A and B are shown apart, each in its own frame.
Chain A
Amino acid sequence: MKSVYSKIALSLSIVNCLFSCTEEITVNVAHESQTVIFGELTNLNDEVVVTIQQTLSLNASESFQAVNDALVSLYEKTVDGNINIITSDFSVNQGIYTSNQTVTTTIGNTYWIEVVLNDGTLFKSEEETMLPIVPISEVTVDNEFDDVLNVSFADPTNATNFYKISVLLYNQGQLVSTNFTESNDVIFDGNDNASVEVDLFRFEEENQSIPEYDSREIRLGNINFTSYQFLLNQRAQIDANEEAGEESGGPSQLFSTPPVSLLGNITNTSTNTTALGNFTIISISVENQ
């Protein structure tokens, strides 16, 4: 239904296309390097992966500036308030920190990470709860569009839930594509037959075809509100970037919202400001097809 809303907003500017004009320009802006931290902790007994990087200026030829000398620690708080360090044993490769052991989590406990840069700056993620798993009941291909999946599940009653729905495509065991969408439960709150649509593949360019794959994994993740809000911002940037990629994307600017940096649940404790990135605690149910 939200897509209809978006279509309307886009169509509002159709008439304007007759007189409007979009042209490519050059803008010079100052860049100040910032630290970006991304990561995810699941209930799937996997290794924990955290990516740490510095932002680059817009005109930089590189696309990724790794931070390889940080210390990463993962903490847990149990329901009775005990705090444990789960691991600070990470291997680093090009800014990607991978725990050397798999991590087992407990539903109801809270988790967070702390990252210390070599200059002593401490970043701490918000303490998020590992929420109950919401099982996928069915995944079907949309009748109308064969590149859209309907993921069905029973939305828990008496709770406000936020979901991250991911599609991972594999070919001969190799991951060839990932895509995700996010949803709150406003339109299906407590519904036994709740359903969310997710695109099989994210089309970045026109006439792009779906990559070859032989199996797919659908994940329904139950996430906390702050991480959901972060995903919304991430989605807004992805959509804006795709629209902006074409000169015809101009008219949608009339009804665009202010652009937002991807600030999530991580705080730079030295400056008490919110940092770029997010560490998501997510309980996942999986359907393999």
Chain B
Amino acid sequence: MKNLFLIFTLFYSLHILQAQSYNISGYIRDNSSGETLLGATLYDKQSGKGVVSNEYGFFSIKLKEGNHVLVVSYLGYNEVVQEINVIENMKINIDLNPNSNSLEEVVIKANKNTKSQTGNVIAGSINLKPQDIKKIPALLGEPDITRAILTQPGVSSVGEGTSGFNVRGGNIDQNLILLDEAPIYNSSHVWGFFSIFNADAVKDTKLYKGGIPARFGGRASSVLDIRQREGSNKKFKGEGGLGLLFSRLTLEGPIKKDKLSFLVSGRRSYFDLFFPLMEDLKNNKVYFYDLNAKLSWDINENNKLFASGYFGADVMKLNFSETGDEETSEDGTTQNSDETIDFQWKNTTATLRWNHIFSDKLFMNLSGIYSRYNYALSSENSGGGPTGTSATNFTWKSAVENWILKPDFTLFQNSDTKMRFGINNTLYRFVPAKVNGNEEGVNNIDFGTEKGLEIAPYFSYDRKWDKFSVNAGLRYSWFANLGPYTVSTYNPNLPQTVSSITGSTTYGKNKVIKSYGNFEPRLALKYDISNRKAVKLGYNRMFQYIHLISNTNAALPFDIWKPSGFHIKPLEVNQISTGYAYDTKNRDYNFSVDAYYKTFKNQVEYKNGADLFLNENLETQLLSSDGYSYGIELGAFKTKGKLTGNVNYTYSVTKRKTTSQFASENLNDGNYYPSNFDRPHIFNLTANYKLSDKWSVGSFFTYQTGRPTTYATGKFQVDGQQFFTYSDRNAYRLNDTHRMDISFTYTPTPKEDRKWQGSWVFGAYNVYGNKNAFSVFSSLRNNQLRTFQYSVIGAPIPFITYNFKF
């Protein structure tokens, strides 16, 4: 910290020595709504220097005294050219008008207006706007951020219908998913089919998969930074969509014009309305809902306050009626025994942010954040009687919670130099299981609460010279696993099993059970070969102190999170990456090539046949593994003209090996094997074509190597029953997969005197009904082998949605 202070002082002194220059600072906003625009470009024609607004829409540029022409641009907005006479430090807010037709792009003055990667120092970052996401044909017509992320290079998943995504060889728990800075622990609805993010409420989405700035930490492979819209402070507006299975509505407007605005956005599925039509499902309910809300208060020119929140839940009410199993009650009537299961999982976040401008050069964001993911499972079994004494019930609860406080400062030293520093403080609370029931002979279970504290100061330095740019950062993360908790101790000469427990140690409240401290250097370098060509180099070290414990093909909503502690070490990931970006003349086309090599240390792996169910000694089921991943990603974008879209190809390899000191525990005899999501070849093509003023068509095609799998290789018999013996873990591969989705959008010409604008979107997901293999499994009955291939989506899924704005 002492060194950081010295550096800070040095740069501040240099600034004082400079004369005749003044700071111009302010916000870049949407003129129609007052919404701040992040990533907008401000460019001074005279000096040729430019800056980009930060994630809060704030910019600061140093200009010499005199007249200047500022050009401000942002994708989807008309460019603004503004003349200013600089005679002192000035605060100006610049308002941009949205394009009437976002396909007609303005002349590009700076890189940020396209998908160009030449201006971005950090290699391997992807920016997606809501309009990008909405153009991609979506499952059941519901624009989906996670599915949009999966169209990008370097991102894969185990398969259709699975929760989360894998970035450059990382597990799904290695992605830090932030919604208005609040971490999200389960980003899926319906077990992975839909993401929890309502595209109407989202302003911007950025995925960092290569260079990860020092202000981010806590997850080892990527950051998905999603920002919610603030709501118009100019006029009341609304938008929404009506689909066959979902509907959504967003309302926004000023509470006090130009000062205080609100945004409320809700979404609800109703596919369970069709369940009564199906015999197997008629007594069940399965639905989800979301609610996003935000209040933005522009207190004065130096202060803004934001309060935002998200609440979303999946609800399952299942009824297992055991017809035929009847019991006679005392009055002589018979009753079917029924079992009802009520299962809900919920995400809740709340963010309070304060933006404060200390000076023209020093900007602060202070965030206080609460995030909670919890599930509750309750079951009631009538036992066959109407009010029979045989009725049993139990409830089961589990949760993970975060309280976060993070002050973040940005010092705009000059147009070419920026420093960012702050400290992230996170208090974790994990409740693995609390079970209460009235079943005789069954204990109530409480595995207690595990706590963790993560404190991470960071500093980053951005500097741009004529051709050379650097983004260097250092983060120090300290994590402590805190009591009260009881930790088992094991015989070090034996594998960790319940049989090798030698005792236990109990730690008191807030006592440190185990702590870890690690430096996480980050470095990104860029050299501009010309204004349309750049090469990049980056290095990251990341530590992760919490782990998703899941041993199933697709993560389950009731998987639990476990902190690093006495028996589980933090995951360490090191990544070096390099990139080359190239834009054609006029930047009609943007190309990029990125390559990376990544190592993983202390990944959580599972013993063969791991029993994770209500296991208080989870460490007995886990193995530590090391791994590596490397790959090359080629991408091309076209953002202008009638035909827009992108095409990308990724070649990657992801392998791991378990590292137990006891050879008998290791999977595949301790040799490397491919991760479940290792898909060496992935090709994606997204294309949108504007057929006319009213009609446009969108399509997406993907081709991917089949994922690794484990096959039965032999058989034997025990007590007359057949069993399989299996190949090494993931020794085989499923067939390659491919899919095409298509959508058509019809937008009637809006009537001038009507505020209401509507459009119809219809199309099909998996348009040619390809049966992509999710898994292959075998059974032996009466010595008869049968092998099946399972496809999660094996048919075209048509959709139609009516979208509207008013």
Which chain A residues lie closer than 8 Å to B729 at the CB level? 258
Task: Give the residues in chain B near A14, CB-CB below 8 Å.
Answer: 280-281, 284, 286
Nearest A-chain residue to B316, judged by Cβ: A11
Contacts of A258 in B (CB 8 A): 551, 606, 608, 710, 729
For the complex with contacts A23-B788, A32-B713, 13 further pairs of A-B residues with Cβ separation under 8 Å are A2-B614, A8-B316, A19-B792, A19-B794, A56-B715, A63-B783, A64-B716, A144-B327, A145-B322, A188-B441, A237-B723, A258-B606, A273-B664
A234 to B716, CA, bound (A): 12
Whether A55 pairs with B442 at a CB distance below 8 angstroms is no
Q: Which residue of B lies closest to A278 (CB)?
A: B718
Interfacial chain A residues near B711, Cβ < 8 Å: 27, 29
Interface residues of chain B, those whose CB is within 8 Å of chain A, are 161-162, 190-191, 193, 271, 280-281, 284, 286, 316, 318, 320, 322, 325, 327, 337, 339, 341, 343, 377, 379, 381, 383-384, 388, 390, 394, 396, 435, 437, 439-443, 445, 497-499, 501, 551-554, 556-558, 606, 608-611, 613-616, 663-664, 669, 710-719, 721-727, 729, 732, 771, 774-781, 783, 785-795, 797
A226 touches B499 (CB 8 A): yes
User: How far is B717's CA from A64's CA once the two chains are assembled, in angstroms?
Assistant: 6
Determine if B713 and A30 form an interchain contact, defined as CB atoms under 8 angstroms apart.
yes
- Residues from chain B with a CB closer than 8 A to the CB of A15 are 190, 193, 271, 281, 286
| A interface, CB within 8 angstroms of B | 1-2, 4-5, 7-9, 11-17, 19-27, 29-34, 36, 38, 51, 53-61, 63-65, 143-145, 152, 160, 178, 184, 186-191, 193-195, 204-205, 224-226, 229, 232-234, 236-238, 240-242, 244-245, 247, 249-251, 253-263, 267, 272-274, 276
* CA distance in complex: A9, B663 (Å): 33
Interface centre among B553, B716, B771 (most CB of A within 10 A): B716
- By a CB distance below 8 angstroms, the chain B residues around A34 are 714, 725
Residue of A nearest to B607 (CB): A229
Interface centre among A9, A58, A144, A160 (most CB of B within 10 A): A144
Could you tell me the distance in whole angstroms from the C-beta of A260 to the nearest C-beta in chain B? 4
B787 touches which of A21, A27, A191, A273 (Cβ 8 Å): A27
Give bound CA distance, A273 to B390, whole Å.
Answer: 49
User: Which chain B residue has the least Cβ–Cβ distance from A187?
Assistant: B442
Q: Report Cα–Cα, A229/B608, bound state, in Å.
A: 9
Q: Is the CB of A58 within 8 A of B499?
A: no
Q: Are B792 and A254 in contact (CB under 8 A)?
A: yes
Tell me whether A251 and B440 are in contact (CB under 8 A). no
Could you tell me the distance in whole angstroms from the C-beta of A34 to the nearest C-beta in chain B? 6
Interface pairs (7), CB distance under 8 Å: A8-B558, A16-B193, A19-B797, A23-B791, A160-B498, A256-B552, A259-B726
Instruction: Name the contact of B771 in the complex, choosing from A17, A21, A60, A189 (C-beta under 8 A).
Output: A21
Judge whether A256 and B553 touch: CB under 8 Å.
yes
> Are A16 and B609 in contact, with the CB atoms below 8 A?
no
Q: Are A244 and B726 in contact (CB under 8 A)?
A: no
- Distance A57 CA – B716 CA, assembled complex (angstroms): 9
Judge whether A186 and B614 touch: CB under 8 Å: yes
| Given A16-B792, A36-B716, A195 and B440 contact (CB-CB distance below 8 Å) | yes
Contacts of B719 in A (CB 8 A): 178
In the bound complex, residues from chain A placing their C-beta under 8 Å from that of B191 are 12-13, 254
Q: Which of A11, A19, A60, A152 contacts B795 (CB 8 A)?
A: A19
The secondary-structure label for the interface of chain A is: mixed
Contact B443 A189 (CB under 8 A): yes
Q: Closest residue to A262 on the B side, CB-wise? A: B723
Taken together as a complex, chains A and B put the C-alpha atoms of A145 and B339 apart, in Å, by: 13
Given contacts A144-B383, A186-B615, contact A249 B777 (CB under 8 A): yes
Cβ-defined contact, A193 with B608, below 8 A: no
Q: Across the interface, do B551 and A4 meet the contact criterion of CB distance under 8 Å?
A: no
- Taking a contact as CB atoms under 8 Å apart, the answer to whether A7 and B320 are in contact is yes
A144-B325 contact in complex given A244-B778, A257-B551, C-beta closer than 8 Å: yes
Query: How far does the Cβ of A96 sit from chain B's closest Cβ, in whole Å?
Result: 11
Instruction: List the A side residues contacting B320 at CB < 8 Å.
Output: 7
Q: What are the residues of chain B within 8 A of A189 when measuring CB–CB?
A: 443
- By a CB distance below 8 angstroms, the chain B residues around A193 are 440-441
* Neighbouring B residues of A254 by C-beta, 8 Å: 161-162, 191, 552-554, 774, 792
- State which of B381, B435, B724 has its C-beta within 8 Å of the C-beta of A259: B724
Known: A26-B787, A55-B716, A186-B615. A21 touches B443 (CB 8 A): no
Please name all residues of chain B whose beta carbon is closer than 8 Å to the beta carbon of A16 when the two chains form the complex.
161, 193, 792
* Contact between B341 and A245, CB atoms less than 8 A apart: no
Complexed CA–CA distance, A184 and B719 (Å): 24
User: A21: nearest residue on chain B (CB-CB)?
Assistant: B794
A4 near B341 with CB under 8 A, answer: yes
B498: chain A residues within 8 A (beta carbon) = 160, 225
A260 touches B713 (CB 8 A): no
Specify which of A24, A34, A63 lies most central, judged by the most chain B CB atoms within 10 Å of its CB: A63
**Cβ-defined partner of A225 (8 Å) among B322, B499, B712, B732:** B499
Interface centre among A17, A34, A237 (most CB of B within 10 A): A237
Given the contacts A63-B717, A143-B383, A58 and B609 also touching, CB distance less than 8 Å: no
Closest beta carbon of chain A to B59's beta carbon, Å: 47
- Do residues B714 and A31 form an inter-chain contact, with CB atoms below 8 A? yes
Please indicate the chain A residues that have their CB under 8 angstroms from the CB of B383 in the complex. Answer: 143-144
Q: A247: which B residues are within 8 A, CB to CB?
A: 788
